[in-house]
């Protein structure tokens, strides 16, 4: 169902197929933890976690492929002297 | 400030994009902000070239990653004009930088502002309304599994690894939240958007916030 729904090309019983299946199972374990109710969360608007197009990726693959934004260090607003800036001194 | 604000209502936000297998979130967020601020100034809403930023912003690593602040600094320093997406289309891979004649149409960045608004998300709301959509960096590790709703947990601050664009907020419900445009296509999250609880720097959304001026 997953391969059809997300248009995956790997075929059944291949090495990649089993690798992806393990990732999918690990994802489902994560979803249970992420969806577990927490007392300080407002329930009816809470985020929901589950199967999506990234569920057959390992967290490492996901991080390497999609989480490639570098953190930036900027100063607290409105303290512009300490490095929060409006242009010039960025270099 | 209005209790609810969404730049999409002003028709200044382009469609959700899909970065596919290219790690160019930093370019998608920056170009999204330029598109919106240009339209906010009374110009037509036009999709500008993300590929141009990926290929030409030499201090970044193209589809292997980059920094929103470095990209903004490059845009401002070089006065590089962002051309239409159709003239320099996205191909999900880093390529050779294409140059255009000086007379060619394009949108350049005059200036930008970048600040840490942690603990000051109410001020950040004002700046969103005043300046336009905001480029932010976030910890998006748990977004691998996100389906919808308001993220209130499972996200760290000070560990940014992804760049997105805040285009609005909603404080009318039980949980006030930021409306954030991602670049993973419309099948992810809430039609490509993610909602993040306001006021607690969830996912580090207020750690590094940038606005552009065109």
pLDDT of B134-150, one tens digit each? 999 999 999 999 999 99
Shortest alpha-carbon distance between residue A14 and chain B (Å): 22
Identify the band that residue A89 occupies on the pLDDT scale cut at 50, 70 and 90.
very low
Q: What average pLDDT score do residues A42-57 get?
A: 90
A31: closest chain B residue by CA: B145
Q: Please, which residues have CB within 8 angstroms of residue B122's CB and are 6 or more apart in sequence?
A: B1
By the CB < 8 Å criterion, does B33 face chain A? no
- Asked whether B150 and B181 are in contact (CB, 8 A), the reply is no
Q: Do the chains contact at B150 and A71, CB–CB below 8 Å? A: no
Note if B162 is an active site residue.
yes
Catalytic residue, from B25, B63, B155, B203: name it. B25
- Asked whether B50 and B85 are in contact (CB, 8 A), the reply is yes
Look at residue A38 in the predicted model and tell me its pLDDT. 73
Note if B153 is an active site residue.
no
Look at residue A43 in the predicted model and tell me its pLDDT. 62
Q: What average pLDDT score do residues B91-97 get?
A: 98
Note if B25 is an active site residue.
yes
Shortest alpha-carbon distance between residue B73 and chain A (Å): 7
By the CB < 8 Å criterion, does A60 face chain B? no
- DSSP symbol at B116: B
Q: What average pLDDT score do residues B164-185 get?
A: 98
pLDDT of A1-25, one tens digit each? 999 999 998 888 899 999 999 999 9
Q: What average pLDDT score do residues B21-47 get?
A: 98
Q: Chain-wide mean pLDDT for chain B? A: 97
Assembly ipTM: 0.93
- pLDDT at residue A85 above 90? no
* Chain A residues whose beta carbon lies within 8 Å of the beta carbon of residue B117: 76-77
* Chain A residues whose beta carbon lies within 8 Å of the beta carbon of residue B188: 52-54
By the CB < 8 Å criterion, does A8 face chain B? no
- pLDDT at residue A64 above 60? yes
The DSSP secondary structure of B136-168, one letter per residue, reads: EEE--GGGGGEEESEE-SS--SS---EEEEEEE
Cα separation, A40 vs A38, whole angstroms:
6
Cα separation, A38 vs A68, whole angstroms:
30
Q: Please, which residues have CB within 8 angstroms of residue B4's CB and are 6 or more apart in sequence?
A: B168, B169, B170, B171, B172
pLDDT of B25-35, one tens digit each? 999 999 999 99
Catalytic residue, from B60, B63, B155, B162: name it. B162
Number of H helices, E strands in chain A: 3, 1
Q: What average pLDDT score do residues A48-66 get?
A: 97
């Amino acid at each position: 169902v997953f391969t059809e729904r997300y248009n995956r090309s790997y075929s059944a019983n291949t090495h990649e197929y089993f690798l992806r299946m393990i990732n999918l199972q690990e994802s489902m374990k994560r979803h249970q933890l992420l969806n577990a109710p927490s007392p300080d969360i407002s329930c009816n608007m809470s985020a929901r976690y589950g199967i999506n197009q990234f569920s057959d990726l390992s967290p490492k693959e996901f991080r390497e492929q999609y989480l490639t934004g570098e953190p930036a260090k900027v100063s607290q607003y409105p303290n512009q002297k300490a490095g929060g800036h409006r242009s010039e001194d960025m270099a | 400030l209005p209790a609810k604000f969404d730049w999409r209502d002003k028709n200044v936000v382009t469609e959700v994009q899909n970065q596919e297998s290219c790690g160019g979130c930093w370019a998608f967020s920056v170009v999204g902000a330029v598109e919106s601020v240009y339209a906010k100034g009374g110009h037509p809403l036009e999709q500008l070239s993300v590929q141009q930023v990926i290929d030409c912003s030499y201090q970044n690593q193209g589809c292997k990653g980059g920094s929103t602040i470095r990209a903004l600094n490059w845009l401002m320093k070089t006065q590089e004009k962002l051309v239409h997406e159709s003239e320099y289309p996205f191909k999900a891979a880093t390529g050779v930088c294409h140059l255009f004649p000086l007379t060619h149409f394009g949108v350049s960045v005059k200036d930008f502002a970048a600040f840490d608004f942690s603990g000051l998300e109410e001020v950040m709301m004002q700046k969103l309304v005043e300046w336009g959509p905001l480029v932010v960096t976030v910890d998006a590790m748990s977004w691998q599994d996100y389906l919808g709703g308001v993220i209130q947990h499972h996200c760290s601050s000070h560990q940014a690894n992804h760049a997105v664009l805040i285009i609005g907020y909603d404080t009318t419900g039980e949980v006030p939240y930021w409306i954030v445009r991602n670049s993973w296509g419309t099948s992810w999250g809430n039609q490509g958007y993610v909602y993040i609880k306001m006021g607690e720097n969830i996912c580090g959304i207020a750690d590094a916030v940038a606005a552009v001026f065109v």
